[in-house]
Structure 1
Amino acid sequence: MILIVIIFLALLPTIGRSHCDTMNGPVVTAARKALETGNVNLVLVWVQTSGEAEVREAFLKTLAVRKLNPEVRELADMYFFENLVRIHRAGEGVAYTGLKPAETKPEPGIEAADEALRTGSLELLKRHLDESIHHGLAEQFERVTARKQYAPNDVEAGREYVKAYVLFIHYVERLHEAAAIPAEDHVHHE
């Protein structure tokens, strides 16, 4: 089971549909709290050292103008959220594509990982990962075995087998590599 968790954590940085760029994700949630309390340190943990000065500057600008009126406050907060998430994503080595609405659903694995952290229990996450990995393995395996028996002179059928074989082997290889490499090796460091 722990191997499955390692695989999931190793693959997390490569998942395109992150939830760090949603209005109810952990980065914007921390940003709201930082603005409420005036404590920039609550968001600095979400950025690399190289982005800290830019976040501090955006934070101070936001605090300075958000007091003017509710419309300005909303605009200033969005300015801060956008910049913070952009800098956070850059630190992950991922392109920033804008803030997503709060109702944007992350990958089920991300939801299960957040739930594990919220509850202090890995059970739901382990079940989810077990199901996902077993389903993926079975699907790839069935695809390759269904194409394994082909007539020696049927080159197209042989190519279909080889294509399925390569996909299966690469799938297993990625799972194995993810299990063997600590997750932090997949995250961009300064």
Structure 2
Amino acid sequence: MFIKSIVTQLASLKPATVEAQCDTAEGPAVKCGRKALETGNINYALKWIPADGEAELRDVFDKALQVRTLGSDAAELADRLFLETMVRIHRMAEGVGFTGVQPLGTEIDPVVTAADKAIAAGSDADLLPMVPEDRRAELDERFQAALAAKDFDVDDVVAGRRYLAAYVNFFKYAEGEDHDHHGHGGHEDPVPSEHSHAHAH
């Protein structure tokens, strides 16, 4: 039957898990994914993945939207599959494994929380004292670059990816994972508002 075939297809697409850093249910990637599902606009999620991952995510997204209309259990399965697929593609593009979306309440590094608040507030004054003094100038430079790219139309996926790259670059340096000026990374960002947008790792 149609319903069973779609649910079975979705279940079969569930990605295998491997060791990775956590991606939480409260994080920006998942928030953007939920926004995509709620609005029916996949562009909220596309900035999180590379162009070569779009076909896979679009396929899962289209099926998820169909299944979401079939009842709460089916919707839960569809949402979970879409979100895990999105985060998996994002992580794999960074060369990082994926162990699944971590549950609400997962402990978050205080520096990550402070970095998120800095982006939301438009000021890194509270964040800078949390990192070694010799890293503050570079961190502030990356922060300013992220802020400069923050305002973008949700349907401008190229601009969204540009912002995410700057956001990740800022986050990785804040966490001490990246010592090279133009390094790339794997964190998360704000859900673009109707035009631009916001998060919470």
**Shorter-normalised TM range:** 0.5 to 0.7
Alignment partner, residue 110 of structure 1: 112
Ranges of 4+ aligned residues in structure 1 off by more than 4 Å: none
Secondary structure (helix, strand or coil) at the match of 2:101 reads coil
**Aligned match for 1:69, one of 68, 71, 83:** 71
Query: Is it true that 1:54 corresponds to 2:53 in the alignment?
Result: no
Find the aligned partners of 1:40 and 1:94 in 2 and give their Cα distance: 23
**Aligned match for 1:37, one of 33, 39, 52:** 39
Q: Cα deviation per residue 1:79-127 (whole Å; 9 max; x = unaligned)?
A: 1111111111111211011110121122222111111001111011101
Number of residues paired by the alignment?
Answer: 126
Q: Cα deviation per residue 1:120-166 (whole Å; 9 max; x = unaligned)?
A: 110111011148x8xxxxxxxxxxxxxxxxxxxxxxxxxxxxxxxxx
Larger Rg: 1
Find the aligned partners of 2:103 and 2:26 in 1 and give their Cα distance: 8
Find the aligned partners of 2:184 and 2:71 in 1 and give their Cα distance: 43
Find the aligned partners of 1:82 and 1:187 in 2 and give their Cα distance: 19
- 2:131 aligned partner, one-letter code: L
Percent identity between matched residues is 44
Indicate if the aligned counterparts of 2:42 and 2:58 stay in contact, CA closer than 8 A: yes
Post-superposition shift, 1:17?
Answer: 4.0
